[in-house]
Chains A and B, each alone.
Chain A
Amino acid sequence: MKVEARLDRVPLRFYTDPDIYRQEQERIFGGPSWSYVGLGVEVPEAGDFKVTWVGDRQVVLVRDDEGDLWVWPNRCAHRGTALCREPFGHAEEFVCPYHQWVYDLRGTLIGVPFRRGVKGQGGMPEDFCMEANGLPSLAVAERNGVVFASVDDDAPNLTEYLGDAMLPYFDRVFGKDGLVVLGYERQRIPANWKLLFENIKDPYHATLLHVFLVTFGLFRADQPSETRMDSTGRHSVLVSRRGEQAEAETVGEMRSFRDGFRLYDQRLLDIVREFPGEATVVMQTLWPNLIVQQQSNTLATRQIIPRAPGVSDLVWTFFGYVGDDDEMRMRRLRQANLMGPGGFVSIDDSEVMRLAQQAIEANPDGEALVEMGGRDTADAEHMATEAAIRAFYRYYREVMGL
């Protein structure tokens, strides 16, 4: 990290500079990090596959016939054609449409038409080695049904990578029971990927931007909350506990507060406590591309896919558990109204991130201020802090040499 860099400032060019974007792809997404690629239950049977992304590189997640998971680039080793043309599917083997080169489920090259020529003429050279020309697989790791991939074989083991501070929150949501996918949401947000990540490291905005939450009593600035980071600052978790619906002087601070509103259909507020402990909302960010959402009874993974300095895709995988009864499932589907591209809470976030990127691109010089809560990166027991954002950029600047 450069000596003159301040922890409480973020140069706005971090969100716009194409050279920084390319360097992020190499050092962060192409480095010793673990990128979320999916849930094991998305590819349950041998031959099941899912097309996904590590950074802005397209890859395929596949289950082989021994039950192991593989991730390889969606690109034929021959001349670069995409092997998988469906986003999800099932195959016994993968055949390139162009010249019919064939790969097994692990990405090993097992067939090259006319390898020995036609009628004694042509063909591949004698010394062409099939085994050496397969698809270069990524490292794969799984914990409690959540699958990660790494381009760098020297990535630390996943347990170490997530770390002691984050593992309990991760296992709370994923270690409870078998997972069941409820469905997907997808959106293309015209904003830098870091703005999406920061948004979930920002407890400060929750009661100020999300008028719906405060209006209908789902969240209050003074309810017990914590911000926790791991030792590197790259991962974090925001934890909150919904208290009694008491009037608090903090609503006076909120210019957008609407008083006296009650939902016409109250079923949205039919929330049950399903996890041990007091927390009702736990939002975890895991470097470099994963957000884990537990907002009352709506659970999802959110995968950030950078597309360009000013564009990111967000893929939401909503899930429940094998043990959910019909009522719990209905709660999850109903509370999903808060989340996703059409969500009462999440619309505000996508829209504000778009407005941020738009304004930063139109006035690209200068720095963002991140001094809320102080200038350090310590854990906090309240919401009036940007410590998790400062911690993120401290680690980011180390990795990027900025």
Chain B
Amino acid sequence: MRVELVDLYAEYASALDDGRLDDWLGLFTEEASYRIVSRENWERGLPLMTVWCESRAAMQDRARAIRETQMYATRWLRHLLGPVRVTSSGSFPIDVEAPYAVFETLPDEHTRVMSVGRYADRVVRDAEGTLRFADKVCVYDSVLIPTSLVYPL
């Protein structure tokens, strides 16, 4: 199961780095929620989220906005994920954590750190036996965001 879990996270990072947003969506269950929250708000118990997708449908809206409606400078992203840790005991659903770093490269600029933080996720095995995210929270340390947060972390 650990190998499958590592593969899930590797595919998550790869889908985002390649801009394959439909594949990114496919890693979530239909009822999944996806949240990006600053560590400041998280630790202070403040409810505001930088990005809040309450359902995979909302995540589809976010993906479509990125593809069709947002105006932003072109960039490359590269995720580096740390070791994946299962923090719950017993069987599915399992709680999983991993630290992450996202690097961003814009034209005429050197690659910079865009965001570092951790994922705190809930993973399930779906009816076909595939591992998917039922809930994903990305808590970012990099609270002073460099310009804007365009793509999912």
Contacts and interface: CB of A to CB of B under 8 A. Distances in A.
A is bound by B: yes
A263 B61 contact: yes
Interface stretch (B16-24, B49-57, B120-128): B49-57
A264 B57 contact: yes
B48 A182 contact: yes
A265 B54 contact: yes
B147 A261 contact: no
B46 interface: yes
Interface in A194-232: 209, 211-212, 215
Contacts of B11: none
A215 B40 CA distance: 33
Contacts of B57: 264-265
B69 A212 contact: yes
A264 B145 contact: no
Contacts of B64: 261, 264
B148 A342 contact: yes
B3 interface: no
Interface in A142-176: none
A351 B71 contact: yes
A265 B50 CA distance: 18
Given A265-B58, A342-B51, A183 B71 contact: no
A188 B149 CA distance: 11
Given A182-B47, A333-B52, A347 B68 contact: no
29 contacts: A87-B40, A182-B47, A183-B40, A184-B38, A184-B40, A184-B143, A185-B38, A188-B144, A188-B147, A212-B70, A258-B68, A264-B58, A264-B64, A265-B57, A265-B60, A268-B58, A336-B52, A340-B50, A341-B147, A341-B148, A341-B149, A342-B148, A344-B65, A347-B72, A350-B147, A350-B148, A351-B71, A351-B72, A354-B147
Interface string A95-125: 0000000000000000000000000000000
A264 B68 contact: no
B70 A344 contact: yes
A351 B58 contact: no
A187 interface: yes
A351 B148 CA distance: 7
Contacts of B55: 265
A265 B61 contact: yes
B1 interface: no
Given A186-B145, A267-B54, A348-B72, 19 more contacts: A181-B46, A183-B46, A183-B49, A184-B48, A184-B143, A185-B38, A190-B147, A211-B68, A211-B69, A264-B58, A265-B57, A333-B49, A336-B52, A337-B52, A341-B145, A342-B150, A347-B149, A348-B70, A351-B72
Nearest to A258: B68
Nearest to B152: A342
Contacts of B54: 265, 267, 334
B61 A348 contact: no
Size class of the B contact interface (CB-based, 8 Å): 35 or more
Contact of B71 (A185, A188, A190, A211): A211
A352 B143 CA distance: 21
A188 to B, nearest CB: 5
Contacts of B40: 87, 183-184, 186
The B interface, classified by DSSP as helix, strand, loop or mixed, is mixed
A337 B70 CA distance: 13
A286 interface: no
A185 B50 contact: yes
Interface of A: 87-88, 181-190, 209, 211-212, 215, 256, 258, 261, 263-265, 267-268, 313, 318, 329, 333-334, 336-337, 340-342, 344, 346-348, 350-352, 354-355
Nearest to A257: B69
A183 B148 contact: no
Contact of A336 (B49, B53, B71, B147): B49
B41 interface: yes
Contacts of A354: 73, 147
B47 A329 contact: yes
B26 interface: no
A333 B48 contact: yes
Nearest to B153: A342
Nearest to B71: A348
A186 B141 CA distance: 12
